[in-house]
Copies of this chain bind each other. A is one copy, B any other.
Amino acid sequence: MHLRLASLGFGNVGRALAIMLAEKADDLQRRYDLTFSFTGAFTRSAGGWIAPGGVSPAALAASKWPKGGSAVMPVVGNWPAGELPPPVRGDPREHLAMHTSVFAGGAVEFVRTCPADVVLELTALNPQTGQPAIDHIRAALIAGKHVVTANKGPIAYAYRALRALAQEHGVALRFESTVMDGTPIFGMAQAALPATVITGFRGLLNSTSNYVLSRMAQGESLEAAIAGAQRLGIAEANPSNDLEGWDGAVKATVLANVLMDADLRPADVLRDGLGAEAMRLAREALGPGQTLKQVVEASRDKDGVSARVRLVALGADDLLAHLSGMETALLLHTDTMRDLTIVEGEGGPGQTAFGVVADLVNIVRGMGN
């Protein structure tokens, strides 16, 4: 089977994805009988292009698009619908340029127009509303296109509606990379934990908080630790989304809604005593042997599922206390296996891209939703 991909957003994750699909092309074909091409991509700053004949992942990665300016920008042209391009020859950048046309409309129109089997939602998170990614995904599903999103906003704000829409249109909606990069949380729950009720969870899910608190535990100041996280590319220029628990709240919502059948929104997640000043105070109040971590938790009681993000002084007997600054972890409480914990050693764009690859393979294997 051949899957034509249209990508919304094309930054570090998009590039890592194109590289991974190129590097794993033989393996994907041999083991899953699966080949890929990109028939279009769209970014807010660079605009979009559509190549109905498809650009190979290797060609797209080699083109460096959207970096590199006009030298690698797609050439304008009215591409005849249904006509196939000649085979790739020579410089793959040339291939990309030869068979593409500039797309002049907006993102939703791009999703509707681009001939594709799967729309990839790789735009940046809007932690307050999940938009405009929700609209992108809605348009894709209505157009009968499968969706893989690494953007967690739509799953946090509109999971039930989007899931229903996907079912209505007979297409898949997958989102492995929304929590802990491509760590196989949702794939594992779906495929390997049948007949299991997840009754709660605890996690260290925010890399910036993990890193900053670890550095502070080693004696660094809060400011120096934040600067270090920014140098490593873990933290945004404004790290308040991370340190004040918004990132954690969005992830808690995704996990609670998907794994525990809750219907929360990020604002329903209690965010308690967070932020830079709270971190400083909590560190000063730590007892001997304790470790401070930003912990995401959810549990179910008679009133339903509730979730929270808070700074917790973990004792030395708590495995989560011993995660390094680069590790993230999720502990699931289940009725069949009791406690299961999964730890990601170190995340990044490559790990996020892998989650997208896993979702693509599972769409083809019929593990759609």
Contact = CB atoms under 8 A, between A and B. Distances in A.
B343 A343 contact: yes
A273 B193 CA distance: 37
User: How many copies altogether?
Assistant: 2
Given A27-B195, A194-B357, A358-B193, A340 B345 contact: yes
Contacts of A322: 316, 319, 321-322
A291 to B, nearest CB: 11
Interface stretch (A1-9, A151-159, A182-190, A274-282): A182-190
A324 interface: yes
A141 B192 CA distance: 23
Interface string A1-42: 000000000000000000010001001100110000000000
A337 interface: yes
A344 interface: yes
A286 to B, nearest CB: 17
A196 B358 CA distance: 9
A65 interface: no
Interface of A: 20, 24, 27-28, 31-32, 176, 181-184, 187-188, 190-196, 316-317, 319, 321-324, 327, 331, 336-346, 350-351, 354, 357-358, 361-362, 367
Given A176-B192, A340-B345, 15 more contacts: A27-B195, A28-B195, A184-B340, A187-B188, A190-B191, A191-B191, A195-B361, A319-B322, A336-B354, A336-B357, A338-B346, A339-B344, A340-B343, A341-B342, A342-B343
